Structure 1
């Protein structure tokens, strides 16, 4: 299982200047390589190297850094073509697609630059790194991270790490290959119903209300609009300081919810049944006032957090189809659109049971999870006559 660990670099003033100059140089050269690739019809990496490697070396890049710049450009075009084939940039001849196809890919001055073990070495005991720059190799650059992150780096770091600059601060983002824990045999399943009013509702009674997060989003939206109207230097400075604050808050909230659900599953030796909501943004049609709330719903992030935490802890997890879970009675199984009276109330038209709508849906998801698990466990080999 791939886990990404981010550490914060703490360079001195001269070291920070060298790192910043390195990122600016490699990304400027990446833009040049991108223009060459675009002019030559985006050749394969080996052919692109023949047209650009000598120039990159002449500009002062080391052999490994030059190779990484070329590979970064080729990977960017591979991603672009994959998005075009998948239709993520619109239909053929649409304005967005034509714009993406008609010019070379550009790289921001602070964009990530990959480093391998020849360009970057880690000293875990001292919490320092030795890193290549355009002015020479810099040794003993301090970094900071949590104890768990340091242990993960020491035990499982594998492959490249990316150097990025964000708001004047440098980070190293390393990939770790963490082994998955062996899953135990679950004693039942905990169903998790995801939503906007209630971020997550489980069949065991846990409910993460979304009212506080919704108020926080509205307050941040109003504050951004107020600052953007001023158009002063101080307002722009405040907007820059506050950038990504909402993203970090939502991410932290989702981490807390995922950890709570996982802890409950471990305590009761149960598995987790999660609804598969992929493609819901394309399926659902909403009125204009509801679109901002819906499209800022971070259900995919919460689902990813639950999945990777379950894999690391060895908790069984299954994904189920959420169709009609909010219209099906968890007691008698009766399906009727009228069963869902409103957002929070469920009343079965057959047996008359009254329940919270999200709690009822989570029970249906739990039952489907158990059925999926048992179906996968049963043998499909014909019996011997």
Structure 2
């Protein structure tokens, strides 16, 4: 039970020991502007690490969707590079993968130790990992959506539903791909795109790593290793992730032309 005084940036909260009045709150400028304009519905109060947070529900209106995108930016999600776009931007995961490997080793050691202090430390560390992942996914999605909005294009994503069941990977790769929040990254791209009026389509992920973006010949031999793509039909050579992103972009355009637009969930933000 609380009341907001957004102009004064204070709240009054009813507690078991009475009402606490004129408690100051803060946030970054963008969050505070959204709060003042669009707050609607219930709010949640939680504590984490000795700090208190208010989560406010906002009803933010959608921007009109661009009805005539000038092509699509294809986004290839992977292990060595978390996201590669058809415009040539690679969001590398090499340094991050080393950090995640260290995190897994620490988690294993703490689980084996099994003491109360080890369990508390493991819980704190898990929260740190989740916050780091969320922050990186926010930055990547923000960059991709901003580029699409600036260039008047849409965004094409692979339909990754069931990827864990479909993927045939070696054990180290399974650990890596299963531990990264690709679904979260896709959701962030979608809701940011909806706010910006950028159309989003989902395409089939089948053979995107084996299809040539120039002649569209499909052959598993086109991918001799993780990083290289070399078409056996036309001789086209390119970085494998970049080639896949071009294939996804082309499929996105044809999906849009055929009218199979993706349905993005309704936008809900918290401050």
**Quick check: TM above 0.5?**
yes
What per-residue deviation string (whole Å, max 9, x for no partner) do you get for residues 331-366 of structure 1?
111111221212111111111111111111111111
Q: Does 1:261 align with 2:144?
A: yes
Corresponding residue of 2:58: 176
Corresponding residue of 1:344: 227
CA apart distance, 1:225 = 3.9
Match 1:368 to one of 247, 251, 261: 251
Q: After the TM superposition, which residues 189-204 of structure 1 pair with which residues of structure 2 at under 5 Å, given as runs?
A: 189-204=72-87
What per-residue deviation string (whole Å, max 9, x for no partner) do you get for residues 286-308 of structure 1?
44333321210211111111111
Question: What SS does the corresponding residue of 2:25 show, helix, strand or coil?
Answer: strand
- Cα distance in 1 for partners of 2:150, 2:8 equals 37
How many pairs align?
259
Question: What SS does the corresponding residue of 1:318 show, helix, strand or coil?
Answer: strand
Question: What SS does the corresponding residue of 2:259 show, helix, strand or coil?
Answer: helix
CA apart distance, 1:237 = 5.7
Q: Cα 1:349–1:240, aligned 2, differ >3 Å: closer, same or farther?
A: closer
Corresponding residue of 1:158: 40
Moved more, 147-156 or 239-248: 239-248
Q: After the TM superposition, which residues 65-214 of structure 1 pair with which residues of structure 2 at under 5 Å, given as runs?
A: 119-184=1-66, 185-214=68-97
Q: After the TM superposition, which residues 255-334 of structure 1 pair with which residues of structure 2 at under 5 Å, given as runs?
A: 255-334=138-217
Match 2:98 to one of 210, 215, 225: 215
- Cα distance in 1 for partners of 2:123, 2:81 equals 31
Match 1:245 to one of 107, 125, 128: 128
- Cα distance in 2 for partners of 1:356, 1:231 equals 45
Question: What SS does the corresponding residue of 1:343 show, helix, strand or coil?
Answer: coil
CA apart distance, 1:121 = 0.9
Bigger RCO (CA 8 Å, 6+ sep): 2
- Cα distance in 1 for partners of 2:208, 2:187 equals 21
- Cα distance in 2 for partners of 1:261, 1:330 equals 21
- Cα distance in 1 for partners of 2:126, 2:243 equals 38
CA apart distance, 1:155 = 0.9
**Which has the larger Rg?**
1
Question: What SS does the corresponding residue of 1:187 show, helix, strand or coil?
Answer: coil
CA apart distance, 1:329 = 0.9
Question: What SS does the corresponding residue of 1:376 show, helix, strand or coil?
Answer: coil
Question: What SS does the corresponding residue of 2:7 show, helix, strand or coil?
Answer: coil
- Cα distance in 1 for partners of 2:180, 2:43 equals 30
RMSD: 2.1
CA apart distance, 1:223 = 3.1
Larger proportion of helix: 1
Gaps of 5+ in 2: 261-271
Corresponding residue of 2:268: none
Question: What SS does the corresponding residue of 1:161 show, helix, strand or coil?
Answer: strand
Question: What SS does the corresponding residue of 1:244 show, helix, strand or coil?
Answer: helix
Corresponding residue of 2:241: 358
